[in-house]
A and B are shown apart, each in its own frame.
Chain A
Amino acid sequence: MKKYTYTESKDTRSGFGAGLVEAAKQDENVVALCADLIGSLKMNEFIKAFPDRFFQIGIAEANMMGIAAGLTIGGKIPFTGTFANFSTGRVYDQIRQSIAYSDKNVKIAASHAGLTLGEDGATHQILEDIGLMKMLPGMTVINPCDYNQTKAATIAVARHKGPVYLRFGRPVVPVFTPDDQDFVIGKAVMLNPGTAVTILATGHLVWEAIQAGEELEGMGVDAEIINIHTIKPLDEEAILGSIAKTGCVVTAEEHNRIGGLGDSVAQLLTKQMPVPQEYVAVNDSFGESGTPSELMHKYGLNADAIVAAVLRVLKRKQIKL
């Protein structure tokens, strides 16, 4: 098992904030909008550096999505900022009509995604956003795993032409990917080659997958671990190549089992290469208040849950039909 170490922990939303400043330096058309959550979205540095390119919208997310769509007419590259819940479910129709169907170059930056928002509870913990966004034709869906990757993803997203949903979070998590990484949208990142099982993880679950890989190594299980930072378009080649070798897969995500990465993988496998698959995801329920780690434990979204899922899938793999 390849060793992953880290010297610091940071929140992915701060990676977004840093990436936004960098993207804005690179392209004067980058602008940002926020619905009364500047601090939460880590937009302060951007506002300080580019005050004329920032739009405070107030608590009016539907209007924000429309204004972002309009800003693209005139060549701007708008990043909208609010919590993932208010970036998707609350404004689905605005995104659908004014952004996705209208082919607008809007970047929807969504923080506080998933359970790790913590104590605020289920009203704010959206677990359906990946599903909502990936169903929109033409929408790119990205869920990076740490500070460095979120920063790199933000810069890549600004350069990409077309609507993007960029999902990140609030908790402080280990920074283990390189700070000079080249982020390629739609290209999965191999973290550890293995032969027994494929673990496909996204977002905060990537670090958990690495932890699980180490534990599995101790049990004699050689796991292949891949970081799927882009859920749409899915890196089918990387996934099929891995599964052709291992013959079974565990998907891991901070999202509802329905509609997330696991479903995207299942759809691919059903058509191309049916193999046993186990989901590490929220089992079709809402979240609740608690600390992030308490919630990740209760809802089965940590390294232990990944190990258990691997053991289940290995058992299924051995059944010869």
Chain B
Amino acid sequence: MTKKSIHNLEAIVQQVRRDIVRMVHACQSGHPGGSLGCTELLVCLYFELMQRKEQFDPNGVGEDLFFLSNGHISPVFYSVLARAGYFPIDELATFRKLNSRLQGHPTTHEGLPGIRVASGSLGQGLSVAIGAAQAKKLNKDNRLVYVLMGDGELQEGQIWEAAMYAAHNKMDNLIAIVDYNGAQIDGATNDVLSLGDLPGKWMAFGWKVIEVRRGNDIGSVIAGLRKAQDSTAKRVPVMVLLHTEMGNGVDFMMGSHKWHGVAPNDEQLTSALNQNAETLGDYIA
């Protein structure tokens, strides 16, 4: 990874952070905290790590697929999809508004390119990703399937049904990622319902576990995900525990669960934008 390409990814990250806070501010709703925390991950996936077709193909045969299971961090997903060319960036201005393709939580129902399944009700994305990975195996398609979950989301029982299935069936074309920020709506996961020894749990379920300590550092994200890619095709599913910081990149939102689902006011927006440079051009409000 050259310094130049990291610099390019950093520029996209800054712009995506601007998009996120502007989108959430414009409709005064949405989830900035987790979106900001996962910005590096999604930018690295879409602009560096995934092999994908230029045009959106809902079946995604012959390309890497990404599923967002924690659908509430739709602002970062929409921004990255738009910046990756799936739909016009100015459409970001319609986020959560009436008649928009950018619903509060992602959906295929409005025909937005880049989305392959609806998510929002938590705990379902890993199963869907496993199904898509099974289809790839049947189709003799050797590309990978990625899925991102929240750490609070792991409290859903379906996740562990899927975890068992993936190991039993040697789903080794699947890379699952947990946004390990330790926070959920009501507070720290350790206070709400602690996850315990998370690496140990996934290992006990038969997964290869890779921990990425600095999930908001582009170099670390790339290195961790490359290691995950190298761990595929070895008859075990791969789990990346990505330590991130909720609200990363906006000082007053950082490290607090309070910005899980709260929109900034005008003054806070200005402050957030001052901390993230307009690198690629803002979408037109």
Decide if A and B are genuine partners.
yes
A interface residue numbers (CB < 8 A to B): 31, 52-53, 55, 57-58, 60, 62-76, 78, 93-94, 96-98, 101-104
Check B109 against A73 for contact (C-beta < 8 Å): no
Chosen A-B contacts, 21 in total, with CB atoms closer than 8 Å, are: A60-B161, A60-B162, A63-B127, A67-B165, A69-B117, A70-B127, A70-B129, A70-B131, A70-B134, A70-B135, A71-B132, A71-B134, A73-B58, A73-B60, A73-B131, A74-B132, A75-B59, A75-B135, A94-B127, A96-B121, A97-B118
Residue B158 is within 8 A (CB to CB) of chain A in the complex: yes
Contact of A62 among B108, B109, B125, B157 (CB under 8 A): B157
Binds A, one of B42-50, B136-144, B212-220, B247-255: B136-144
User: A68-B131, A73-B59 given as contacts; is B161 within 8 A of A63 (CB)?
Assistant: yes
Check A73 against B117 for contact (C-beta < 8 Å): yes
Query: Chain A: which residue is nearest B123 at the CB level?
Result: A62
CA distance A72 to B157 in the complex (A): 23
10 additional A-B pairs beyond A66-B124, A75-B59, A76-B138, beta carbons within 8 Å, are A60-B158, A69-B127, A70-B134, A73-B116, A74-B59, A74-B60, A74-B139, A76-B135, A78-B131, A102-B109
User: Which DSSP category, helix, strand, loop or mixed, fits chain A's interface?
Assistant: helix
CA distance A69 to B136 in the complex (A): 13
Check A62 against B127 for contact (C-beta < 8 Å): yes
Contact of A67 among B119, B130, B157 (CB under 8 A): B130
B interface residue numbers (CB < 8 A to A): 58-61, 65, 107-109, 116-121, 123-136, 138-139, 141, 157-158, 161-162, 164-165, 168-169
Check B138 against A31 for contact (C-beta < 8 Å): yes
Contacts of B138 in A (CB 8 A): 31, 52-53, 74, 76
Check B131 against A101 for contact (C-beta < 8 Å): no
Query: Chain B: which residue is nearest A66 at the CB level?
Result: B127
CA distance A80 to B131 in the complex (A): 12
Contact of A63 among B116, B120, B136, B158 (CB under 8 A): B158
Nearest-Cβ distance from residue B230 to partner chain A, whole angstroms: 24
CA distance A63 to B123 in the complex (A): 9
Contact of A66 among B126, B135, B139 (CB under 8 A): B126
User: A71-B134, A73-B58 given as contacts; is B158 within 8 A of A94 (CB)?
Assistant: yes
Contacts of A94 in B (CB 8 A): 124, 127, 158
Check A69 against B128 for contact (C-beta < 8 Å): yes
Nearest-Cβ distance from residue B72 to partner chain A, whole angstroms: 13
Q: Please name the 9 residue pairs, one residue from A and one from B, whose CB atoms are nearest each other, closest first.
A: A70-B131, A66-B127, A74-B135, A60-B161, A63-B161, A67-B131, A70-B132, A70-B128, A62-B158
Contacts of A64 in B (CB 8 A): 127
Contacts of B132 in A (CB 8 A): 70-71, 73-74
Nearest-Cβ distance from residue B84 to partner chain A, whole angstroms: 18
Nearest-Cβ distance from residue A183 to partner chain B, whole angstroms: 27
Contacts of A55 in B (CB 8 A): 134, 169
Nearest-Cβ distance from residue B25 to partner chain A, whole angstroms: 28
Query: Chain A: which residue is nearest B129 at the CB level?
Result: A70
Nearest-Cβ distance from residue A226 to partner chain B, whole angstroms: 34
Contacts of A73 in B (CB 8 A): 58-60, 65, 116-117, 128, 131-132, 135
Query: Chain A: which residue is nearest B156 at the CB level?
Result: A62
CA distance A300 to B118 in the complex (A): 42
Check B117 against A70 for contact (C-beta < 8 Å): yes
Contacts of B164 in A (CB 8 A): 58, 60
Nearest-Cβ distance from residue A54 to partner chain B, whole angstroms: 11
CA distance A76 to B139 in the complex (A): 9
Contacts of B119 in A (CB 8 A): 97
Check B135 against A71 for contact (C-beta < 8 Å): yes
Query: Chain B: which residue is nearest A106 at the CB level?
Result: B131
Check B130 against A98 for contact (C-beta < 8 Å): no
Contacts of A74 in B (CB 8 A): 59-61, 132, 135-136, 138-139, 141
Q: Which of A31, A65, A66, A69 has the most CB of B within 10 A?
A: A66
Q: Which of B126, B139, B158 has the most CB of A within 10 A?
A: B158
CA distance A67 to B138 in the complex (A): 13
Contacts of A71 in B (CB 8 A): 131-132, 134-135
Contacts of A57 in B (CB 8 A): 165
CA distance A146 to B109 in the complex (A): 35
CA distance A101 to B121 in the complex (A): 12
CA distance A102 to B118 in the complex (A): 5
Nearest-Cβ distance from residue A28 to partner chain B, whole angstroms: 9
CA distance A96 to B118 in the complex (A): 10
CA distance A103 to B126 in the complex (A): 18
